[in-house]
Amino acid sequence: MAVLTVSRRLLLQGTAALAGLATLGLRAHAAGGGRLVVAADSEPKNLNPAIVASNGVFFVASKVIEPLAEASYTGENGLAPRLALAWEGSSDGLSVTFRLRPDVTWHDGKPFTSADVAFSALQVWKPLQNLGRTIFADLTAVDTPDPLTAVFRFSQPTPIQLIRNALPAVTAVLPRHLYEGTDIATNPANVQLVGTGPYRFAEYKPGQYYRLTRNDAYWDKGKPALEEIIFRVLPDRAGAGAALEADEIQLAAFSAVPLADLARIAKVPGIKVVPEGYEGLTYQLVVEINHRRKELADLKVRQAIAHAIDRKFVVDTIFLGYATASTGPVPKNAGEFYTPDVETYPFDVARANALLDEAGYTRGADGVRFTLRLLPAPYFNETRQFGDYLKQALKAVGIDAQLVNNDAAAHIKAVYADHAFDLAVAPPVFRGDPAISTTILVKSGLPAGVPFSNQGGFVSAEIDAVIAQAARTVDTSARTQLYKTFQKLVAADLPLINVAEWGFITVARDTVENVASNPRWAVSNWSDTALQG
């Protein structure tokens, strides 16, 4: 009998342990500094933000590895200092001096110095990083006169405005002592991250979760407020909303809760919907045009297509109001560069029809002027829905658009390598500066196969010249002026059609504090994020 009792107790213990395993990190502990459980929808293979500058990586890694500066609503030039306290560009554009934060240590206890910055810039950002390759193309050396000063030297004038705008996304600093002399691309620290940030990387269970714990030695004394952050892998978008309602997770960023579900979930007590905190991560809804098609090479046809799109419908129905209609290639919330003073194309079906008639493409007996292939990018529900809508909008002006659906890899191959499209719907990201985002969709001369670039065969010597000049203009106001000219030229010539711009939505429990405290909040360090006791 005794044996039986023991085995039953063992059995119970086993069951409890199993249950504990199953719910590890899934329930919030209201007491103490707290554990924040967040929905993660992807598991990047390489988590190193200095190599892979993408939002999927930043989402987890930005809490561990910090950049030199972060975007800010209130700071000078829209920046708040992180590992750098100040930065200044020389008037000839050939050097930028960073003064670094003192008394910062890596998670393994070693001190952070200018040597780490020099190593990261020359060995990682410039040769290995997707964005850094462009920005730091002319970087030749980084001088380190003392442990808290780093001077970047360029062979060609490099605008300080570009460097500034790029700081939050491209300057994640790596610990030199762990990377030097190793194969950087395969270093184990790319997964088991070591940084200076408010959270340490604790563990990663593939298919289950990432766990970050509080860095007690963080340079910003008294922060962070949380004990632990768990990124729970929840690939099913329908699941995030239900998990929030059940309080299994407290936060779902990057629109993990579908737009169409927001109106309902906003009414659930204890849950808030936060559309702020993504101003620095604006996505643009763009119609890419293949100018090799003779009909689309005609400006009148492109103007007609621009007039055929009802931007109000796109914003109100497809994005349910969580978007803004675009006027040109720079989004409205990039206030520094944006100009509304460009050619606009109000929704006007009659005008579109008249333009197409003028261009000589009259309707056939079946009401069709010509047929096009339309390839909506498969990454977002909204890009697919806009594809469905665009087909109908074009039908109203006599253009028969045949939708072609592809998976992500096939879409990239069809559009950017094989040019097997007439119109495509793309969601490019505006990265804070036109030099590293929107201009690549317009400038000519890029080889076939470069994804998310101008592969439509559009060539304008005038626009190319403005882009090239802006890349070398050091003076901030002159450079800004050049990009305003760029917007005007693009809106007049329509190499592509900008339809709308949108950010993501965060849905969180009311207990999560300081959500959206900066314009790149989801990919920032969350040192001030807290859970109400």
Which residues make up the interface to other proteins (CB under 8 A)?
237-238, 241, 258, 260-261, 263-264, 313, 317-318, 378, 381, 385, 387-389, 391-392, 395, 402-407
H helical segments located in 299-379: 299-308, 311-313, 349-358
Q: Which helix (H) or strand (E) holds 507?
A: strand 506-509
Choice between 317 and 514, CB closer to other proteins: 317
The DSSP output letter for 429 is B
Choice between 92 and 407, CB closer to other proteins: 407
Residue 287 CA to residue 107 CA, distance in Å, equals 45
The DSSP output letter for 430 is P
Shortest distance in whole angstroms from residue 406 CB to other proteins: 8
126-145 in b/e form (b: 16+ CB < 10 A) is: beebebbebbbebbeebebe
Choice between 301 and 375, CB closer to other proteins: 375
Choice between 88 and 388, CB closer to other proteins: 388
Choice between 182 and 405, CB closer to other proteins: 405
Shortest distance in whole angstroms from residue 115 CB to other proteins: 50
Choice between 116 and 248, CB closer to other proteins: 248
Candidates 247, 258, 246; CA nearest to 41 is 258
Shortest distance in whole angstroms from residue 54 CB to other proteins: 24
Paired tokens of 308: 């055929």
- Residue 467 DSSP SS3: helix
Tell me the one-letter amino acid at 143: D
Shortest distance in whole angstroms from residue 240 CB to other proteins: 11
449-478 in b/e form (b: 16+ CB < 10 A) is: eeebbbbbbbebeebeebbeebbebbebee
> HEC states along 182-243?
CCHHHCHHHCCCCCCCCEEEEEEECCCEEEEEECCCCCCCCCCCCCEEEEEECCCHHHHHHH
Residue 58 CA to residue 35 CA, distance in Å, equals 20
Shortest distance in whole angstroms from residue 361 CB to other proteins: 21
Choice between 368 and 450, CB closer to other proteins: 368
- Radius of gyration (Cα) for the chain, nearest Å? 25
The DSSP output letter for 34 is -
Shortest distance in whole angstroms from residue 59 CB to other proteins: 22
Q: Do the beta carbons of residue 31 and residue 230 sit within 8 Å? A: no
Choice between 249 and 490, CB closer to other proteins: 249
Candidates 230, 129, 225; CA nearest to 174 is 129
Residue 110 CA to residue 112 CA, distance in Å, equals 7
Shortest distance in whole angstroms from residue 332 CB to other proteins: 25
Shortest distance in whole angstroms from residue 114 CB to other proteins: 49
Residue appearing with tokens 């109203």: 396
Residue 94 CA to residue 77 CA, distance in Å, equals 20
Paired tokens of 266: 């906003």
Number of Cβ atoms within 10 Å of the Cβ of 242: 15
Shortest distance in whole angstroms from residue 368 CB to other proteins: 13
Cis bond upstream, residue 224 (ω within 30): yes
Choice between 402 and 514, CB closer to other proteins: 402
What values do phi and psi take at 512, rounded to 5?
Answer: -80, 125
Choice between 388 and 462, CB closer to other proteins: 388
Residue 482 CA to residue 470 CA, distance in Å, equals 6
| Backbone conformation region of residue 111, classed left if phi is above 0, alpha if psi is from -120 to 50, else beta | beta
Choice between 46 and 406, CB closer to other proteins: 406
Residue appearing with tokens 């959206």: 516
Choice between 68 and 423, CB closer to other proteins: 423
Residue appearing with tokens 């998990």: 243
Choice between 277 and 376, CB closer to other proteins: 376
Shortest distance in whole angstroms from residue 393 CB to other proteins: 9
